[in-house]
Structure 1
Amino acid sequence: MKNTNLVTMKEALKIADQRGIALGAFEFWSYEVARAIVQAAQELDVPVILQGGKLEIDRMGGFEETVETAYMAAKNSTVPVALHLDHATTFEDCNAAINAGFTSVMIDASALPYEENMEITRKVARRAHAAGVTVEGELGRLVGEEGDIIVKGPEAAQTDPGEALQFVKDTGIDALAVSIGTAHGQYTFEPKLNIERLDRIKEVVDLPIVLHGGSGTPMNQVQEAIRHGIRKVNICTDIQVAMGTTYIKTIQSEGFKYSCENLWGPSEKAAKAVVMEKIKAFALM
């Protein structure tokens, strides 16, 4: 395990709870993206969560290489930075991330029946907590695609408050991702967050609540959810879209000449701009 200055997500979320805000958990797949995220957080003086799923981690060479990438981006950070494994579906991947130096892992067994979800999540929590690592679990299912997980239809099962209470007791997790009407990826329907359901979950679950599928969700709805207790919001697609569209415009611009800075600089700036916008909104600035 690499010794880094990265903090646990649990510690970062304590700060968010004290401020009554949510932290952005931003997907990264390269040093440039990680650097843009950390720079934005520093300029706004807000803790931030760097996160990667298996697809992004594989692009960076593996778990240890991802830790190295995050460390390089955050080694001189003036704000707390956590490194989180997003949407792992196996104990083995969570264990590999813990051993490599991740400070937080998410086990997403929400596609499984409750008992199986509970058992694998509890197993991950026991392993992670022994190493001082934060654990996020998920109950309920989001529409869309996240890695190998595909859920169709806007009426996919949302999180049951009573079941959420039992799940937290059974597993010992540190944060709970819930389904209240968001989707992964780009929306194919008009989202409407179920704030009433969120309130009922918060009444019985005394943990940071996580909102996945933050990209594309109307910001007024996201901010309303934050006022009602959401403490972490995941963002991926918005960064990818900003970087992709900027890249296309850049190479098609009149007089464009190839160089590292000319080619990649504008996309990195676009990523940073998106992250800054989200951090401000999530901090209710």
Structure 2
Amino acid sequence: MLMNMADLLAVANKHNFAVPAFNVSSSMILKGVMHTCEEMQAPVIIAIHPDELEFVEDSFVKSVIDEANKTTVPVCIHLDHGAKFEQILRAIRDGFTSVMIDASSLPLEENIAITKKVIEVAHPLGVSVEAELGTIGTADDYGEAGSKKIIYTEVDDAVKFVKETGVDCLAIAIGTAHGLYPKDRIPELKLDRLKEIKANVSIPLVLHGGSGNPDKEIGESVKLGVNKINISSDIKDAFYQECRKVLEDKGLREPMAIYPKCIDAMNEVVRHKINLFDDADKVKYYYE
């Protein structure tokens, strides 16, 4: 069941769980994520970053739409970290049901202005909009952009931003970072800041950089009101680490000989995240 993110997260907000946004950049990863979500009756957001879209190209989105239309599981197709207006327009043309405009590196007023511009285009077409306030860190040099310095989201700024833009959900900065953390770096979330923002903002809140954070903190953030958590590095790492092992057999070349074990390894992480976010068995709430 294909939905936009505003409708998808409204249910999560009401019932206090978080929907995972899994970054998908291949048919194998898509296959694994969708099968696991169906098995666990877990709503899901299929996220595609502009760099990933450059690789898989526009035709891949049609495959995601087809998967969403075939299942009774609520599915949103979301452009992750769109940085340019042209990227937003491309995603809308492709059939994404949600887009993120990430202008978090700009001054507050400029962030508000570009977010309003995106909303003016997206909302009449039934496409929901996510924005970011504050900056997410970066833990390694791969994947999505991040900032070397985390700028935590201010409560008053969040209230002003939501009021002036009418954005559907807001990614906040409370101490996460994109990528996989080095062994000597222990992430720590400012959960008190999350409580303050949630107490003053009614729309669903988003946590980016969810890979590698302690389960206890992530689980607590869900209880405190986060309704969407992005996961990219964790599932890709599991998938490709297993690929490396499988391909030690130099004679393998057929997909059914290579990818099932890789998908199984990834799905262990997918299941763990779904349970951690309290997302399992939540499809029932969308048919009440």
What TM-score results when the alignment is normalised by the length of structure 2?
0.91
Conserved? CA contact 1:223–1:284, under 8 Å: no
The CA distance in 2 between the partners of 1:148 and 1:48, in whole Å, is 20
**Change beyond 3 A, Cα 1:278–1:256:** farther
Q: Within 5 A, what are the aligned runs for 1:183-262?
A: 183-188=177-182, 189-252=185-248, 257-262=252-257
Partner residue, 1:77: 71
Q: Within 5 A, what are the aligned runs for 1:41-190?
A: 41-62=37-58, 65-144=59-138, 149-153=145-149, 156-188=150-182, 189-190=185-186
Shift of 1:146: 7.5
Structure 1, residues 47-93: CA drift from partner, whole Å, max 9, x if none?
1000100111111113xx23212123333212111000000001121
**Change beyond 3 A, Cα 1:157–1:36:** same
**Change beyond 3 A, Cα 1:203–1:283:** same
The CA distance in 2 between the partners of 1:149 and 1:121, in whole Å, is 18
**Change beyond 3 A, Cα 1:150–1:277:** closer
Kindly provide the amino acid, as one letter, of the partner of residue 39 in structure 1.
H
The CA distance in 2 between the partners of 1:86 and 1:257, in whole Å, is 34
Partner residue, 1:12: 8
**Change beyond 3 A, Cα 1:100–1:257:** closer
Kindly provide the amino acid, as one letter, of the partner of residue 91 in structure 2.
A
The CA distance in 1 between the partners of 2:60 and 2:120, in whole Å, is 23
> SS of the residue aligned with 2:247?
helix
> SS of the residue aligned with 1:233?
strand
Mapped pair 1:279 → 2:274: yes
Shift of 1:148: 6.8
Conserved? CA contact 1:178–1:211, under 8 Å: yes
The CA distance in 2 between the partners of 1:184 and 1:151, in whole Å, is 9
For structure 1, list consecutive stretches of 5 or more residues without a partner in the other structure: none
What TM-score results when the alignment is normalised by the length of structure 1?
0.92
Structure 1, residues 104-163: CA drift from partner, whole Å, max 9, x if none?
00000001111111110111011111111110000000111676734114xx21000000
Kindly provide the amino acid, as one letter, of the partner of residue 168 in structure 2.
D
Kindly provide the amino acid, as one letter, of the partner of residue 175 in structure 1.
C
> Percent of pairs identical after alignment?
38
> SS of the residue aligned with 2:80?
strand
The CA distance in 1 between the partners of 2:118 and 2:125, in whole Å, is 11
Mapped pair 1:269 → 2:264: yes
Kindly provide the amino acid, as one letter, of the partner of residue 40 in structure 2.
L
Conserved? CA contact 1:22–1:283, under 8 Å: yes
How many corresponding residue pairs?
A: 276
Shift of 1:233: 0.3
Kindly provide the amino acid, as one letter, of the partner of residue 230 in structure 1.
V
The CA distance in 1 between the partners of 2:146 and 2:46, in whole Å, is 23
Kindly provide the amino acid, as one letter, of the partner of residue 134 in structure 2.
G
Greater Cα shift, 240-249 or 272-281: 272-281
The CA distance in 1 between the partners of 2:30 and 2:189, in whole Å, is 29
The CA distance in 2 between the partners of 1:237 and 1:105, in whole Å, is 20
